[in-house]
């Protein structure tokens, strides 16, 4: 019997406890450090992405304004010869809807403001001159004063108590790029909750707000027409991993599970190996004849069923041989069962010299054996049967200087119209019966 060793429960518990405590302390310290580093990186990254988002939005609005203010037909139909139908189709129906603008306005020579399109829900009862806010007015003045540096970009403005992203550009000649007169095209997009939500979704940003809340931890200045003018701020909350409970819980759980799994594998691996060996021993005991170490009848039949189905489906040849040692009872009676057992092992060892790896050999009971030959036709099966018969007759069993001559009778059958392994064995047994009644030590086949 194997001398099995087992770990004591106390040693396992102590080892697991101290390892978990040590690893958890180290991992917790490292995670706290790295989370603080990641917090700083996250805040910087979010701030940069918010800045890029508004830069792109200003650039897009500026390019849209340039597209229409550098257009001769746009100036002709907006300022020179105002066309109300064109206002409706171009500014109201197309630009307002397509680009989600709040207002489109014209600033004429005398700084007279005319709102020519507005989005649904925008009030229409306020004085248009309110659009000429400090930021827009500054842009107009800088455009008229050629000595002042003009930053060609959209900017932020406040009028009527609300904040807007605005682009105000003078109408220019398409061919020369020169300013036609002092008329401006103004495009305005309100910084309302809907627009800020769209920005967050479009650029994968946290929720943005113009109003500062207690939950906000970062901000950015929104400038007017000149970069140095501070109009308002936009606020957001950059998520800090160190403020979240989940990463800590996940780290602790991961550490605990990792240690537990490793220890469990170490402690249980031996048991698994022993179980695998035991299962292998059970399989061998259930499928192998203990005396001859070849397949027993049950396993032989099971393998035979599989081969029969395969060759019937593929319509390929299959032959089956049954062997019966001649006068085996007389050997048992004369020399004893121990010698009879040696005779059976002698026969099986001799047969193995003639088999292929694909052949199936098994003990069917007593002194009777079976052999399945996949892919072998009747003539080849008969040749093999005779080789085995002759080899056994020429190789006597020698025990304690006693020579015991052995012979075998063989029945052969080839798969034809049999539908089961039992029918195939029955036909082979019929041929074996004929061989036994024909003087023994002969091979007969079933037709």
Question: The domain spanning residue 205 has which CATH number?
Answer: 3.30.450.220
Which range has the top average pLDDT, 7-16, 257-266, 368-377? 368-377
Q: What's the rounded Cα separation, in Å, for the pair 95 and 139?
A: 22
Cβ atoms of residues 283 and 272 within 8 Å: no
| The one catalytic residue among 111, 112, 367, 394 | 367
Confidence of residue 151 (pLDDT cuts 50, 70, 90): low
Range of the domain at 327: 288-445
Q: What is the pLDDT of residue 134?
A: 66
In a domain, 260, yes or no: no
Shared-domain flag, residues 187 and 319: no
Confidence of residue 266 (pLDDT cuts 50, 70, 90): low
Q: Which residues lie closer than 8 Å to 63 by C-beta, 6 or more apart?
A: none
Domain boundary among 186, 208, 242: 242
Average pLDDT of span 46-56: 92
In a domain, 387, yes or no: yes
Q: What is the pLDDT of residue 218?
A: 85
Check residues 260 and 352 and name the one with the higher pLDDT.
Answer: 352
Shared-domain flag, residues 134 and 53: yes
Check residues 179 and 387 and name the one with the higher pLDDT.
Answer: 387
Q: What is the pLDDT of residue 409?
A: 94
Check residues 163 and 226 and name the one with the higher pLDDT.
Answer: 163
In a domain, 323, yes or no: yes
Domain boundary among 242, 265, 280: 242
Least confident range from 51-55, 133-137, 148-152: namely 148-152
Shared-domain flag, residues 301 and 221: no
Percent of the chain exceeding pLDDT 70 equals 83
Check residues 182 and 233 and name the one with the higher pLDDT.
Answer: 233
Least confident range from 8-22, 112-126, 248-262, 351-365: namely 8-22
pLDDT higher than threshold 50 for residue 4: no
Q: What is the CATH number of the domain that holds 413?
A: 3.30.70.270
As a whole number, the mean pLDDT across the chain is 84
Shared-domain flag, residues 230 and 353: no
Shared-domain flag, residues 233 and 364: no
Average pLDDT of span 256-262: 69
Shared-domain flag, residues 191 and 332: no
Shared-domain flag, residues 176 and 32: yes
Average pLDDT of span 46-73: 92
Q: What is the pLDDT of residue 124?
A: 66
341 C-beta neighbours (distance < 10 Å), count: 13
pLDDT higher than threshold 50 for residue 3: no
Q: What is the pLDDT of residue 2?
A: 42
Confidence of residue 148 (pLDDT cuts 50, 70, 90): very low
Structure tokens at 127: 């004085």
Check residues 369 and 40 and name the one with the higher pLDDT.
Answer: 369
Tens of pLDDT, residue by residue over 400-415, are 888 999 999 999 999 9
Confidence of residue 26 (pLDDT cuts 50, 70, 90): confident
In a domain, 339, yes or no: yes
Shared-domain flag, residues 340 and 435: yes
Shared-domain flag, residues 314 and 397: yes
How many folded domains does the chain comprise? 2
Q: What is the pLDDT of residue 41?
A: 85
Domain boundary among 187, 214, 242: 242
Q: What is the pLDDT of residue 430?
A: 93
Cβ atoms of residues 34 and 241 within 8 Å: no
Shared-domain flag, residues 227 and 124: yes
Q: What is the pLDDT of residue 256?
A: 73
Q: What's the rounded Cα separation, in Å, for the pair 26 and 383?
A: 75
Tens of pLDDT, residue by residue over 206-239, are 999 988 777 788 888 888 777 777 888 999 888 7
Cβ atoms of residues 46 and 217 within 8 Å: no
Q: For this structure, is 174 an active site residue?
A: no
Q: What is the pLDDT of residue 303?
A: 93
Cβ atoms of residues 252 and 245 within 8 Å: no
- In three-state secondary structure terms, 290 is coil
Least confident range from 79-88, 157-166, 353-362: namely 157-166
In a domain, 252, yes or no: no
Tens of pLDDT, residue by residue over 85-128, are 999 999 999 999 999 998 898 988 767 888 889 887 666 666 67
Shared-domain flag, residues 222 and 325: no
In a domain, 103, yes or no: yes
Q: What is the pLDDT of residue 276?
A: 67
Please give the backbone phi and psi of residue 396, each rounded to the nearest 5 degrees, phi first.
-70, 165
Confidence of residue 39 (pLDDT cuts 50, 70, 90): confident
pLDDT higher than threshold 50 for residue 275: yes
Q: What is the pLDDT of residue 359?
A: 93
pLDDT higher than threshold 70 for residue 184: yes
Reported as half-sphere exposure (CB side, CA atoms, 13 A), residue 50 has a value of 24
In a domain, 438, yes or no: yes
Structure tokens at 408: 């075998």
Confidence of residue 16 (pLDDT cuts 50, 70, 90): low
**Integer-rounded Cα radius of gyration of the chain:** 48
Shared-domain flag, residues 313 and 217: no
In a domain, 54, yes or no: yes
């Amino acid at each position: 019997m194997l001398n099995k060793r087992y770990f004591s429960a106390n040693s396992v518990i102590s080892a697991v406890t101290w390892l978990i405590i040590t690893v958890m302390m180290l991992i917790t310290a490292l995670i706290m450090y790295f989370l603080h580093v990641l917090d700083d990186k996250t805040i910087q990254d979010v701030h940069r992405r918010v800045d890029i988002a508004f830069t792109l939005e200003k650039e897009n609005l500026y390019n849209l304004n340039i597209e229409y203010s550098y257009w001769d037909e746009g100036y002709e139909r907006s300022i020179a010869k105002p066309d109300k139908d064109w206002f409706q189709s171009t500014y109201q129906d197309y630009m307002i809807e397509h680009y989600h603008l709040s207002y489109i306005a014209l600033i004429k020579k005398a700084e007279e403001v005319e709102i020519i399109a507005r989005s649904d829900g925008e009030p229409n009862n306020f004085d248009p001159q309110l659009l000429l806010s400090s930021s827009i007015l500054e842009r107009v003045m800088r455009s008229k004063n050629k000595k002042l540096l003009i930053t060609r970009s959209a900017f932020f403005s406040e009028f009527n108590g609300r904040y807007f992203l605005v682009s105000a550009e003078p109408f220019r000649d398409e061919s020369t790029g020169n300013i036609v007169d002092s008329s401006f095209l103004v495009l305005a997009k309100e910084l309302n909750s809907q627009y800020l939500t769209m920005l967050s979704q479009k650029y994968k940003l946290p929720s943005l707000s113009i109003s500062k809340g207690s939950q906000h931890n970062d901000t950015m200045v929104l400038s007017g027409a000149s970069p140095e003018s501070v109009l308002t701020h936009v606020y957001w909350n950059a998520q800090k991993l160190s403020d979240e409970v989940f990463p800590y819980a996940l780290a602790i759980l991961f550490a605990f599970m990792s240690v537990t799994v490793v220890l469990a594998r170490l402690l249980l691996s031996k048991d698994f190996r022993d179980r695998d060996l035991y299962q292998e021993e059970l399989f061998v005991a259930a499928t192998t004849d203990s005396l001859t170490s070849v397949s027993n009848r049950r396993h032989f039949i099971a393998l035979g069923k599989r081969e029969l189905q395969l060759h019937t489906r593929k319509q390929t040849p299959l032959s089956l041989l049954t062997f019966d040692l001649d006068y085996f009872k007389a050997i048992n009676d004369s020399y004893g069962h121990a010698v009879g057992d040696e005779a059976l092992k002698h026969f099986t060892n001799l047969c193995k010299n003639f088999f292929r790896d694909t052949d199936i050999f098994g003990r069917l009971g007593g002194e009777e054996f079976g052999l399945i030959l996949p892919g072998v036709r009747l003539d080849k099966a008969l040749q093999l049967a005779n080789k085995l018969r002759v080899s056994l007759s020429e190789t006597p069993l020698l025990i304690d200087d006693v020579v015991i001559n052995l012979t075998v009778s063989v029945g052969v059958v080839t798969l034809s119209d049999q539908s089961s392994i039992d029918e195939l064995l029955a036909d082979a047994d019929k041929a074996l019966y004929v061989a036994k009644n024909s003087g023994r030590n002969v091979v007969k086949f079933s037709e």
